[in-house]
A and B are shown apart, each in its own frame.
Chain A
């Protein structure tokens, strides 16, 4: 298949690549850029493990072609915080025991970040709705919701 030009800002860095037209965004991130924090749990929009933020919106990266994100701003878990400076949500997930196997965690964190960026003061119900597209098979969700709720009304937009 013919390759086409792809460019976007991923985690604050400009990326320019030649890619096949039918490449899914998740495969671009994982197989081309080795940003493997983005996970594939189902490949059909059910689990949310592949969630990234595109221009402020949480998106299932398994459901769109990379080209649909061309020239946009993409944030993956690798751009959310660093080992030296975690995003407050990452700290909260650790402190509230919201992480078990960790496979849902990157997608869950990005879904939560997209919520708090838009609505710094969500209700518990709004939090549940915001992560309703993210499945977790380990935690039972309560601790995840607690972790997110602990940051409501706080200044968390560090990135």
Chain B
């Protein structure tokens, strides 16, 4: 038998990648295929008064122009709630919104047709900071209210914890929106097979859910939709939501022709999710020896106009809010809030990447105030087997933090005996 463990294996699809043979969605061609393009909104908050597609439809080489009224099934998609429109019908909530689709004989004709579509908007006041969006009188992104999700975590008694503290550090931290910028911009090629079923080739992270989303929007049953995941040119969370999938399938279904859609980098930035910016208000108390007595945190995540994974991500941020440290008294409130910003979703860490900016900075500031080495304050609070987290979980096994801390300290050449 060939040895597998302990040897470096080559990627199974590596050969196709170093020779250029492997296919990403834009690398597929079909005889007689049309090219699809998307008209996107120019405003972030407002209303569509009218759409005139007649000039675009009259352009030679244009085979189909599609707007919201042509969506046969549910005009929405989303991994948790299908609240993002396939095509905006009247309300515009963010620059993500697509307004019309064109299928034409060539990419150039499709691009020209987009220029000929006339959209009349009424701009409405928008809200672009989730802290403002939480106020009673803020413009409403959704009628039901802007607060999408709230998770409180309570452990012990923070008032008592702060009363016991020798030092308290209070600060607000924020992180910015980040694009995954995977190297391969979104693309898809959709065909109809001999059974009359849709076959969509796309680079995706969520092939089975794409199938549900496409079927629901087109009013088909899932067995009429087949999603083939091609080679994926990076994703990092950014391919968990719909971008090109439903649009390409819709144009194919309505023209009964193969349709290819390719985003350029600019459109890619418009179409897919971003990492949640988070505003994090932290109050942390510690005794003279560095032991934490209490953490109070309020974390507000900007969901943009659509939910995507926001509740799950802000839940994860909340669960990680106290870091890998034992804290007897905890009060955490985590919110996901709608704004008119581009929607945010999954990205590496899924909500666990932002809070460390805050809780680790707090640790350094506490150490400075107490005259302790940054290592020492962490060592004295670090999780070990048997520790209880802020949510009450007992860590029974595999808690390697202290070993890691030791290894890192040694690598830095620190005198560990002195520091613990």
Q: Say yes or no for B17: interface residue by CB 8 A criterion.
A: yes
Given A37-B20, A95-B8, A101-B234, check contact A43 B182 (CB 8 Å).
Answer: no
Question: Do most interface residues of chain A lie in helix, strand or loop, or is the interface mixed?
Answer: loop
CB distance from B66 to the nearest CB of A (A): 24
Number of interface residues of B (CB under 8 A): 32
Given A34-B29, A95-B10, A101-B232, check contact A83 B19 (CB 8 Å).
Answer: yes
Query: B233 contacts which chain A residues (CB < 8 A)?
Result: 39, 101-103
Q: Say yes or no for B117: interface residue by CB 8 A criterion.
A: no
Select B184's contact among A37, A83, A101, beta carbons within 8 Å.
A101
Q: Say yes or no for A149: interface residue by CB 8 A criterion.
A: no
Q: Say yes or no for B416: interface residue by CB 8 A criterion.
A: no
* B265 x A42 contact (CB < 8 A): yes
Query: A71 contacts which chain B residues (CB < 8 A)?
Result: none
Whole-angstrom distance between the alpha carbons of A93 and B14 in the complex?
9
Q: Say yes or no for A109: interface residue by CB 8 A criterion.
A: yes
Query: A78 contacts which chain B residues (CB < 8 A)?
Result: 19-20
* Per-position binary interface string of chain A over residues 81-98, scored 1 when its CB falls under 8 Å from any chain B CB and 0 otherwise: 111001000100111010
Question: Do most interface residues of chain B lie in helix, strand or loop, or is the interface mixed?
Answer: loop
* A102 x B8 contact (CB < 8 A): no
Which of chain A's residues 27-62 have a Cβ closer than 8 Å to chain B?
30-31, 34-44, 47, 49
* B19 x A82 contact (CB < 8 A): yes
CB distance from B20 to the nearest CB of A (A): 2
Q: Say yes or no for B195: interface residue by CB 8 A criterion.
A: no
What are 18 residue pairs bridging A and B, where the CB atoms are less than 8 Å apart in the complex? A30-B27, A34-B29, A35-B20, A42-B265, A76-B20, A94-B18, A99-B11, A102-B18, A103-B182, A103-B183, A103-B231, A104-B183, A105-B17, A105-B18, A109-B18, A137-B181, A137-B236, A138-B234
**6 extra interface residue pairs, beta carbon distance < 8 Å, beyond A36-B23, A97-B8, A103-B183:** A30-B26, A36-B27, A40-B185, A47-B183, A94-B14, A99-B11
Please provide the 5 A-B residue pairs with the shortest distance between their CB atoms, ordered closest to farther.
A37-B20, A102-B17, A103-B233, A77-B20, A36-B27
